[in-house]
Structure formats: structure tokens, C-alpha cells
Amino acid sequence: MSSKKKKKVKINKRVFRIFIIILALLIAYIAYLMIYRVSSIKDIFEGIETKEALISEYIVYGTHLNIKGSLDIENSNIDKVSLALKTINTEDQSEISMNYEKTPNGIEFSTSDLINEGINLEEMTTNTYYLFVKVDYNNNTSKYYSLKNDTDYDYQEGESLEYYTITKNDRNNKIDIKFADYDMNGQPLEYMYIGVNYTRLPDNVYDVVIDPGHGGSDVGAEYGKYNEADLTIKIAKAVKEELEDLGLKVLLTRDGTEGEEYNVYSVYDSNGRVNMVGDSKAKYVFSIHLNSIEQANSQSGVEIYAPSKANLNFAKSLADNIVKFADTKYSGLLMDYKIDEGVYVRTLTEEDISNSAANARAKGYEPYDIKENTPYLYMIRETGGIATGAYVDGRNPSYGVNNYYNSNIGVEAYLLELGYINNRVDLENIVNNQEGYVEGIVKSIKDELLGENYVTPEKKSEDGKNTSKVN
């Protein structure tokens, strides 16, 4: 009799302990909700002004989203303007300081003056972010304004601008940038939001494009028995292999088997290199070339050509690492578009624009509306869409159409002149030290896209064991 009672007491104690654990977890959960209040979309829009900020541009270039617009408000007491990213879960909310200028009607604002800065889409975690312009005033008050699409971008209602993040550890996010309406007490209020969700990369989407210069009937620069097209395809294929070992998905614009029909006039064909880059939805394109100059051996070294109106840190990294690992030097080319050692930003001059217009009139088509600071090199200009002032729309009968000339999502482009093919020292180094050039290029791409301490995905070694390394 007594033994049964003892057993019953033990069971009650066990139940009591389970009850205490459940109660503790419940209390912790309630405390969490009190600290990180889980709200609803109604709470997101509580206190939002009914006046909307008008968005004149929202452009993705490379890995960054840049937003520009205006807001019609009283501007005398403004202290700061920010872009607020609100979420249902308040712990994920953030603010990005914006540039702004006062105008007679209010303010004009932008997330950055540089095309490859702004909102870093690679850093956004899975969530839904509601975007608002936050205006802080000198009297310690703030007001929030929703964003209204005032662009003429060719999107159907409810359609999104799609972005796929760079592959890291075989993982990607799909980012949808959209506009919608919220019912604010019977009045529709347009707003902008960004949805971030985990996905597998579609078959036709890439991280990086490697563009080996020239090809087919266009062999590029020649010297002795060597030509640019043959040398660049070898380097491009080696770079592709190294990047794929890092887990990146890489596309080549050509593979070396091009026929005579592949030339300078086919770059805007439906399967030409420009449209291949746009179709790929890649984040970066690297066009690999060799230089040449009229007087052999009079010039040498590395030149990295970068987009205008851009942060040039990546371009400088490419120049520095190629010089270091290939044991070569920076180009001595002294031009007004040299920005730094090995870094060049060449744009169309007034004379270039005037000549383009004259050529258009001679051929009977309307001249292009070319804006200032437009990149000179077409593989930088035409792959960036609106961000870089692309303009090849088919009006010139000598070329096809860049299907992405008016796109608000562009691929960040760099043209790498690795050396001068008609310089004896450069050519010998490029032919005999290919791995040095490849290592320098890959080092910069890896550091920029994946981070210096990125660990490569696990691979099966010959003995069947998993291996990985920090590069």
C-alpha cells in the first residue's frame, strides 16, 4: 500500500516539473513579444503621412539598389532624411541615411550619388521590408512618407523587379521589389516593399559573366603568332573554373568555337555578348582583353576600365591583385581619364557625341540622346542599362538591338586590359604566367563577392572524404 503511494508522488512531481518548464517557456515567449513586438501591416502604416514621396528612379546595378525621388514638404526645419525599412518583426528594422537637397517645392533625395552603392541587396535577410522616407526635424520630431512609383519603367501592375543573390554555400535569395496600395481609411496609399525569400537559382540565372574579348572573325590585336582572341579565351576559361570551385555560377560569352559570323557587328544579336549578359541576370561581368599600341614596346602594364559615377574600390582591387600575383606593373598610360594606378574611367567626350550625331544623320536615323558621363566602352555602357546610359536601341542599321538598353536592372561591368600584346615583356608574361593573371583576377572577385574569409563549399576528394578550405 505504501509503495503505491510513493510511486504516485513521483508521477506528480514529474508532471509538476513539466508544467513548470512549459510555464517558463510561455513566460519567456510573452517577454519576447513584449520586447520584440510582433505587429501587423496595420501597425506598419500607423502614423504614416497621407502625402506620398514620388520615386523618379529605382535602379539595381550590380548588387545595390539605388532610389531617387522627391517630396513636396515644408523644408525649413529638416535635420536629416533617411530611408526606413520597416518589417513586421521590429527587430529587423533599419534606416539608411540619404542624400538630399532642398528645392522650392520641398526636397529631392537619393540613397547614393554612386551607381554601385545604396541598399546592399546581398545583406538583406529573408523578410518583407516596407520602405518609407523618414524626415527628422530640428525639434526632435519625425514624419514618415510612403513611396509612390512615378517612373515610366515597363512593368505591369503587381509585377516586380527580380534579383537573385550571389551563390554562397549553394544558397540564394530571390528578391522582389514591388509597389502596392494600402487602404488608409478609404484612401489608397501607394507604397514600395522588398520581399526576400530563399530559393534555388534558376537554370538561366548566373552570378558572374566572363567575357573573353573578340572571337570568331574578329581576332582583336595581333603580334607575331599570337592574337588577342586566342589568349583571352584561355585566361577566361581558367578564371571560370576557379570561380566555379568557389561555388559561383559562371557564364562565358563565348567558348572559342565561334564561326566567322561572330564579329564586332554581332555583339547586339539576340545571342550576342551584350544580350547574353542581360539574359544571365548576373551581378558582374568581366571583359578580358589585351591592349595594343602603334609603336611596339612603347607601352606596357595593366589597365582596369570601370563605369563612371561608381565607387572604384573594386576596380583598384583588380588592378592591385593582377599586378601582385602576375608579377607585372600598372600601365604608364597617362590620359585625363586615368583615375588611379591601373584604374581608368573613360567617358564619351563632346567630340564623340558630336561625331555620333553626325554619323546618325549621314545614315538617316535620329541621333542618340547621349547623356554626359556616358561610358565610352560598350561592354561597360550597354550592360548597365539605365544606370550607365546604354542607348543602342536598334535605330542604327549597322547593329542589332540591346534588349536591356532601357532596363532598370544592370550588370556591374569591368574591362580588364591585362597588358600590351605588342610589348615583349607583357606578352611573354601573359603566355608563360597565365596562372598569375588568373589568380589575381579570382582573388579580387572572391574577396568582393564572397568575402576574404569565405570557406569554399565541401567537395569530395579522391578518397571520398569531404574537403573545404579558406581561400
CA 253, 249, 263: angle at the middle one, nearest 5?
A: 0
DSSP 91-119: GG-EEEE-EEEEETTEEEEES-SSTT-SE
The pLDDT of residue 367 is above 90: yes
Mean pLDDT, rounded, for 105-125: 97
The pLDDT of residue 210 is above 70: yes
The pLDDT of residue 172 is above 60: yes
Query: Confidence band (pLDDT; 50, 70, 90) for 35?
Result: very low
Determine the Cα–Cα distance for residues 63 and 175; give it in Å rounded to an integer.
11
Q: Among 203, 227, 226, which Cα is nearest to 213's?
A: 227
Question: What are the structural domains, with CATH classification, of the chain?
Answer: 41-199 (2.60.40), 208-449 (3.40.630.40)
Q: Would you say 56 and 68 are in contact if contact means Cβ atoms under 8 Å apart?
A: yes
What value does the mean pLDDT of the chain take?
91
The pLDDT of residue 4 is above 50: no
34-43, 250-259, 427-436: lowest mean pLDDT where? 34-43
Beta carbons within 10 angstroms of residue 141's beta carbon: 10
Query: Confidence band (pLDDT; 50, 70, 90) for 9?
Result: very low
Q: 3 or 385: which carries more pLDDT confidence? A: 385
Query: Confidence band (pLDDT; 50, 70, 90) for 455?
Result: confident
The pLDDT of residue 465 is above 80: no
Query: pTM score, two decimals?
Result: 0.89
Q: Which of 80-94, 110-124, 153-167 has the highest mean pLDDT?
A: 110-124
pLDDT for position 1: 43
Please provide residue 90's backbone torsions phi and psi, each rounded to the nearest 5 degrees: -65, -20
The pLDDT of residue 5 is above 90: no
At 216-243, the pLDDT tens digits run: 999 999 999 999 999 999 999 999 999 9
At 371-409, the pLDDT tens digits run: 889 999 999 999 999 999 999 999 999 999 999 999 999
Distant-in-sequence, close-in-space partners of 357: CB < 8 Å, separation ≥ 6: 367, 368
Determine the Cα–Cα distance for residues 7 and 366; give it in Å rounded to an integer.
96
The pLDDT of residue 464 is above 60: no
Query: Confidence band (pLDDT; 50, 70, 90) for 14?
Result: confident
Determine the Cα–Cα distance for residues 200 and 190; give it in Å rounded to an integer.
31
pLDDT for position 133: 98
Mean pLDDT, rounded, for 57-73: 98
pLDDT for position 19: 78
Determine the Cα–Cα distance for residues 412 and 320; give it in Å rounded to an integer.
19
At 258-291, the pLDDT tens digits run: 998 888 889 999 999 999 999 999 999 999 999 9
The pLDDT of residue 179 is above 50: yes
